[in-house]
A and B are shown apart, each in its own frame.
Chain A
Amino acid sequence: METIDNSIAVLVRNINPITKLLIVFCLGIGCLIYPLPFVGYGILCLLVILGILIGQGKQVLKLIAGFGIPVTLMLLFIQGLYSPKNITMIADFGFAQMGLEGTMYALKISSTLLIFLAAFYLMLQTTKNSETVAALTQSGLNTKIGYLILASLNVVPQMQRKVKVIQEAQESRGVEISGSFIQRAKAFLPLIGPVVLSSLTDAQERGMTLEIRGFGINGDKPTSYIKVETTSLDIVLRIIAICFLISSLIPRLL
């Protein structure tokens, strides 16, 4: 995580992770419920502006362009041209006709996807994973589940290092990891075998270590080094997020 210290970045970083999660889900689900796709793209613009303000503009735009453009085109192709809901035709490509209903549907799904993507990305860039898990356990998530999430996040880079070491060792023994398809496929087993078996013994040791420190005790709530606070700003933001969700319901009900 890069640290950019303008005042907005600090403000965003200090928001309670639960508030951020709530905002992400309210934005995404609100856009899904609202009948027209344009609200979604408006919010996407706001998210990009927020990203630029906290110094993540380039990455957010790259993410949206890299994932958003292909998926939008693909959905426009599938739903716009071949959706069974198409009644009103707006364009003719010769081999197929473009329908209004399917196009709208495709745009809505892609806008919702992009909002989830951008909002989630911004949240992850401004929050430490340990803080998110601490906030979730404080508000009632099982501590074991919290441990699982954090441990998975930590174990994976560790295993990737191990793979690298094993790859070098196997290469020095003469295992070819480049070449024809069959040769590459053959290299898979000598790489994954040692990783799996040594990781399993690691897991055994980790289990013993945790058990010694009382991980298996039920009923006791362990204390955490990380304190997460809920400020008045959090409460205001939560209310705004929920209001947005409710207001997106209104055009559906009327």
Chain B
Amino acid sequence: MRQSFFRRFLQTQFSTKALVLIPIAVGINLIGGTLSSTLKLPLFLDMIGTVLIACLAGPWVAALCGLATNLFLSIVTNPVFLPFAIVSVLCGLVTGYMVKAGLFKNGFGVVITWLACTLTNAISAALITIFVYGGATGINSSSLFTAALIATTKEIMLSVFSTSILENLIDKGIVFLIAYWLVKKIPRRFSSQYAPLDKDYLLLKSRKGS
């Protein structure tokens, strides 16, 4: 019984159409990162794809996309990124469920989604930075900021957390702005094909019949 529930879950959430979106979203995530570094902006902007896919294909596909992004980053650039996969997965899930609750339709909802995602990201990333890496990962300049804060406050936990929340507030804010703008640009005719199959009448019926 449980097995069949799991099967049905997989079938409804991960259709081929949704799965092929994942490599594209991973690409968009990385392109956001490379573009912001070629334009010399002091941001990551590496979640645009995840937010887009959360809008198109739901929370679980977005979570898988986050996992794949970090897997890719750790293969291509630096294995340091691998533990942060948990952060991406959580962010994908939070954003996905917020979108599902209808919060991505107007500006106010986008702000709420942004704050929720920032909080999730900051807390989980800070925990990983502290417990896996002991305070600093050395992959970007924010580690220097953390070190400076530690020197003044003498509190590792507080410093890592405040750095994390600061950089996430700005970064995710821009990510959500861009993603909202992009979602508006995607034609309805295109996005409707990814409508979630959760309550798909035909699929449930055929499952029951078999």
Contact = CB atoms under 8 A, between A and B. Distances in A.
A78 B186 contact: no
Contact of B16 (A153, A154, A163, A210): A210
B78 A200 contact: no
A95 B148 CA distance: 13
A206 interface: yes
Interface in A175-231: 177, 181, 184-185, 187-189, 191-193, 195-197, 199-204, 206-207, 210-211, 215-216, 218
Interface stretch (A53-61, A144-152, A237-245): A144-152
B147 interface: yes
A44 interface: no
Interface in B15-40: 15-17, 19-24, 26-28, 30-32, 34-36, 38-40
Interface of A is mostly: helix
A218 B45 CA distance: 36
B27 A199 contact: yes
B185 A153 contact: no
Given A196-B182, A203-B20, A216-B15, A75 B134 contact: yes
A138 interface: no
Interface residues of B, number: 58
Interface residues of A, number: 63
A149 B68 contact: yes
B147 A74 contact: yes
Contacts of B32: 192
A78 B138 contact: no
A116 B132 CA distance: 13
A193 B185 contact: yes
A120 B82 CA distance: 12
Interface of B: 11, 14-17, 19-24, 26-28, 30-32, 34-36, 38-41, 45, 48, 52, 64, 68, 71-72, 74-76, 78-80, 133-138, 143-144, 146-147, 150-151, 154, 156, 178, 181-182, 185-186, 190, 193
20 contacts: A74-B144, A78-B156, A116-B79, A117-B79, A148-B22, A148-B23, A152-B26, A155-B26, A158-B27, A159-B24, A163-B31, A187-B39, A188-B39, A188-B45, A197-B182, A200-B190, A201-B190, A203-B24, A211-B16, A211-B17
Interface of A: 67, 70-71, 74-75, 77-79, 81-84, 95-96, 105-106, 109, 113, 116-117, 120, 124, 129, 144, 147-149, 151-156, 158-160, 163, 177, 181, 184-185, 187-189, 191-193, 195-197, 199-204, 206-207, 210-211, 215-216, 218
